[in-house]
Structure 1
Amino acid sequence: MSHPLALYGWDAGWEAEFAPFAEQGLLPGRVVRVDRGLCDVITATGTVRADTEFVVPRDPMKVVCTGDWVAVDPEGSDPLFVRALLPRRTAFVRSTSSKRSEGQVLATNIDHIIICVSLAVELDLGRIERFLALAMSSSSGDALLHKSADSWESGAQPVVVLTKADLVTDPVTLAYLVQDVETAAPGVPVLTVSAEQGEGLDVLAAVVSGGTAVLLGQSGAGKSTLANALLGEDVMSVQAIRDVDGKGRHTTTTRNLLALPGGGVLIDTPGLRGVGLWDAGVGVGQVFAEIEELAGGCRFHDCVHESEPGCAVLAAIDSGELPQRRLESYRKLMRENQRIVAKTDARVRAEIRKEWKRRGAIGKAAMEAKRGGLR
């Protein structure tokens, strides 16, 4: 007979991790919602409300989050506490909006990262690349889950879902939009879905049925509508979207974990206004794999692909093999990620200062050569 929590992702691996806590008489459960130091935990006997006071860490990256597996007090305890947090397999992390070098965990123990993009507004390919860079760098604890070369470093498979496909009535136009996204998301499945008309839902349901999926995207991307369609009922509230820009207020205000009727678990998240990178160097490299590959053919190993002679990346731009937009997006994300990492890594800070001095020297030499020519 299967475990009552199997519906929420419980397996032999989690059972082995939990064994020491079982000996203490604690119960296993999965966090379905967190709210101001309290959390709702689904256990074998139902949902309980528990206090997280005993697992408040100094590290903000290790606070209890939706998707976590925890050890809680047995029924009858008053009050009820979360006593321990089981090691995470994966975590989706972004940088906080503060100036401090902190990350914010949005969801944990996920198998699929569903990036929702609305077709009701103009596509922002740069934002899609940003989401993918984070998705491909999602980490477990302090280290990435390294797998085979053809699998994602995070262990979580990213999927781009183009929502509100019914608003694009011309099939040729839709095909071009999908092609643009596939170029920005090499190797990543790109699905078109209309939750209103039920188109493409069967394919997406099959993708997410084998584990835990998290829905990510801007406010107005249709995440809650999509969640309701996958759940087969109106669980998540939905608000009208402004016609002028396709945006809406945050329908979802907390992260919620829900079991899907066809199998699998879904985590719906509030719309994200900002998506700051957090130690996403690996992810950026994977999203722009063609640029990393081209860079191997540059004359200089430290080529920054700006004006150096023998630059294979710039040659690809000139030939039309590589779009200029892709290179600019790559540079932007690499610079941003380097700044984030430099806040906590002295070696990276030193490398940045060294690069600034090198560029300053090149600029000074060019200016002197120009003045000499004028004379």
Structure 2
Amino acid sequence: MFSDLFLLGWTESRAAELPPLTVPARVSRVDRGAAEVIAADGQQHAKYGARVRRASADDPVALPCVGDWVALRELPEGRYELDAVLPRTSAFVRGGVSRDSRGGLSGDGQGQVLAANVDIVFVAEPSMHATDFADLGRIERLVALAWESGGTPVVLVTKSDLFDRGLDELLADVRTAAPGVDVHAVSSMRGDGVELARGYLEGSRTAVVLGPSGAGKSTLVNAMAGGGVMDTQQVRAADGRGRHTTVHRELIPLPGGGLVIDTPGIRRVGLYDMSEGVELVFSDIEELAAGCRFDDCGHESEPGCAVLAALENGELPERRLLSWRKLQREATWMASRTDARLRKEQRDKWKVIHKEMRRTGRNRP
């Protein structure tokens, strides 16, 4: 029954997670209130069932997303209903950060899942534009979220054919922003590095490609797939950027095995439930901090701070420390928003219980 689904990443162990009288499928695309899924009998359109709607009303993270394994229930008229989302082995979640009425940042402590059950997170950063080079701060943020997701980050410096000289120095800078992470230069137009990236997806492994609009994500997906599976547009001569064409996330099976999720360009990625991700991205600062005089050193002005000493002697770039401080503040802020939301939900729950207790107490004879 599941023979075709193994190519999509299905495993025997997942069979025990299926609710009775349901069949498995993998989400390839989501729409409002429904999803396109790939089941053993082909592509299907499935509307969300009552259980999924209830779960997502309490927490948007429970909404089906691209890459999810789900349980389908066949309805009497022959259509399918998406009955449940199976447990995720990994999830790339960004924080629910938006603009308030005064133009400032606000957040409800809830997140949005961009991709699920992903093995590899390709962080695509264009090698250069007309006036700037790779955004190291954005790379640090995306790699932190990739580590936190449970996937393995790989940084792809795209459009390397547009970089005339100094590519090795640029790659060295990127490696300082992503310690312990594989970093490769890729030119989808020339085919440089494409097979190397394709090699990360042997068998039925799944990757998601993340990065800003114009990073060449869809062009890379097409190169890996060996054909035009995603729409692309030409690079603008004025600034070297590609016009953004992908407007939805989509799971694409690749010839010969492996899957890739293409995504729209990400303008802002808020941290969500962050703990180890920032520590892994800034492992160099964590190692320096072990030499600080005080265990609770904040690396601001404390005496005996090994981090500030490394900053003064040039061992640690100032940009790196400023980026660490920024992500630490944001992670702390998002954690406080999440805690506040959970406390409110708990209070609301007890209000309902107490109201019901008062009501039933009054009705007793």
TM-score normalized by the length of structure 1: 0.83
Deviation at 1:97, TM superposition (A): 3.2
Q: Does 1:258 align with 2:284?
A: no
Q: Distance in 1 between matches of 2:175 and 2:28?
A: 33
Structure 2: which amino acid aligns with 1:164? Answer: K
Does the 8 Å contact 2:236/2:243 carry over to 1? no
Q: Distance in 1 between matches of 2:289 and 2:308?
A: 9
Structure 2 match to 1:219: 213
Secondary structure class of the residue paired with 1:5: helix
Does the 8 Å contact 1:205/1:262 carry over to 2? no
Structure 2 match to 1:49: 45
Q: Does 1:158 align with 2:153?
A: yes
Structure 2: which amino acid aligns with 1:117? Answer: E
Secondary structure class of the residue paired with 1:344: helix
Structure 1 match to 2:35: 39
Q: Structure 1 unaligned runs (5+)?
A: 139-153, 350-375
Secondary structure class of the residue paired with 2:252: strand
Structure 2 match to 1:342: 336
What number of residue pairs does the alignment pair up?
Answer: 325
TM-score normalized by the length of structure 2: 0.85
- 1:23-34 alignment to 2 at 5 Å? 24-34=20-30
Please give the per-residue CA displacement for 1:160-191, whole angstroms capped at 9, x wherever unaligned: 00111111233xx1100110101111000001
Structure 2: which amino acid aligns with 1:137? Answer: E
- 1:1-375 alignment to 2 at 5 Å? 3-18=3-18, 21=19, 24-54=20-50, 55-56=52-53, 57=55, 58-74=58-74, 77-98=77-98, 99=106, 100-121=108-129, 122-138=133-149, 154=150, 156-170=151-165, 173-210=166-203, 211-345=205-339
Structure 2: which amino acid aligns with 1:178? Answer: L
Deviation at 1:249, TM superposition (A): 4.2
Q: Distance in 2 between matches of 1:118 and 1:126?
A: 13
Question: Closer, same or farther in 2 for the Cα pair 1:248/1:53, shift >3 Å?
Answer: farther
Secondary structure class of the residue paired with 2:118: coil
Does the 8 Å contact 2:216/2:242 carry over to 1? no
Give percent identity, aligned residues only: 51
The structure whose residues are more often strand, as a share, is 2
Q: Structure 2 unaligned runs (5+)?
A: 99-105, 344-365
Q: Distance in 1 between matches of 2:251 and 2:153?
A: 18
Q: Distance in 1 between matches of 2:94 and 2:110?
A: 9
Deviation at 1:2, TM superposition (A): 7.5
Secondary structure class of the residue paired with 1:81: strand
Deviation at 1:40, TM superposition (A): 0.7
Deviation at 1:241, TM superposition (A): 3.4
Please give the per-residue CA displacement for 1:102-145, whole angstroms capped at 9, x wherever unaligned: 1110000000000001113211101100101111111xxxxxxx
